[in-house]
Structure 1
Amino acid sequence: MLTISRSIHIPESELVERFLRADGPGGQHVNRTESAVELRFDVINSPSLPEALRTRVLERADRRLTGEGVLVIQARRFRDQARNREDARDRLVEIIREVLQPPARRIATKPTRGSKERRLAGKQQRGQIKKGRGRPGLHD
């Protein structure tokens, strides 16, 4: 059971783990053991996630999310399988916790009068600089 919050838990049956050979340090041992972990979690078909949370996870522009709505996390940071499994699960929890709180609504504001004046003054100054680059006597 993977605990996301007090009310949200993901059962082991919804997580699919696959073990692969990892690259990196480890000598010949790395060629023999499957220490990297690929964790898959089907966001679309998961009964554990509330609808609003599922929508926010799917709306995230995340490269780990497939077209079918499956979140794929690869963990190969450590040399042993157990630590990589734990790392993948921690990252899944972190991703889901990031979208637990709905994003704050943006309140539209207007530019202040001073900022408008500064912007226009800057544009005029820039125009004068460009005007000064021409041949003398042409634009006078």
Structure 2
Amino acid sequence: MIFSKAALAKEVSYKTSRSGGKGGQNVNKVSTKVELLFSVNDSALFTDEEKLLINQKLQSRFNKDGYVQVICDEERSQLLNKEIALERLSTLLVRSLQKPKPRKATKVSRQAKEARLAGKKITSQKKENRKKNFDT
């Protein structure tokens, strides 16, 4: 990992609200749903090139204010939800910084071509044999 979670945690902000789901009366009283907000452009953790790459890859995850938004309401504890949201953000950022391997162009081998054509010939013969002979 290029950045530490502790450094990332300093640059995020949280919004909490009441969440649905399991928890009974706890759900109605305690704000356990966590909405993590992270501004890529204001971050000191990434270079300009990395910021550009993250902005391109995570374009669909940005809200109208330009923050990456991660929502978590799985657990009954706000603290656990914060940790899960931070983990998800970390995973998102790491994945967005990975550059895909360049594709190497390959040729279909002669043997593979011949095998494909042989298969087509067999199928063709099969269908030809199904036809009724009207010449006789």
**Superposition TM-score, scaled by structure 1 size:** 0.74
Q: Number of residues paired by the alignment?
A: 135
1:88 is matched by which residue type in structure 2? A
What does the per-residue CA deviation read over 1:34-82, in whole Å, with 9 as the maximum and x for residues that have no partner? 1011111122443432233223323336753447653211111211101
2:115 is matched by which residue type in structure 1? R
Does residue 77 (structure 1) correspond to residue 74 (structure 2)? The answer is yes
Q: CA deviation at 1:98?
A: 2.2
1:49 counterpart residue number: 46
1:87 is matched by which residue type in structure 2? I
Q: CA deviation at 1:87?
A: 0.9
Does residue 36 (structure 1) correspond to residue 33 (structure 2)? The answer is yes
| Structure 2 residue corresponding to 1:60, chosen from 57, 62, 70 | 57
**Superposition TM-score, scaled by structure 2 size:** 0.76
Q: CA RMSD in A?
A: 3.1
What does the per-residue CA deviation read over 1:75-96, in whole Å, with 9 as the maximum and x for residues that have no partner? 1121110111111111111111
Does residue 86 (structure 1) correspond to residue 83 (structure 2)? The answer is yes
Matches within 5 A, 1:102-121: 102-121=99-118
**SS of equivalent residue, structure 2 residue 69:** strand
Q: CA deviation at 1:28?
A: 1.5
Seen in structure 2, the aligned counterparts of structure 1 residues 138 and 41 have a Cα distance that, compared at 3 Å, is farther
Q: CA deviation at 1:27?
A: 0.5
> Which structure carries more helix by proportion?
2
Q: Which runs of 5+ in 2 are unaligned?
A: none
Seen in structure 2, the aligned counterparts of structure 1 residues 64 and 132 have a Cα distance that, compared at 3 Å, is farther
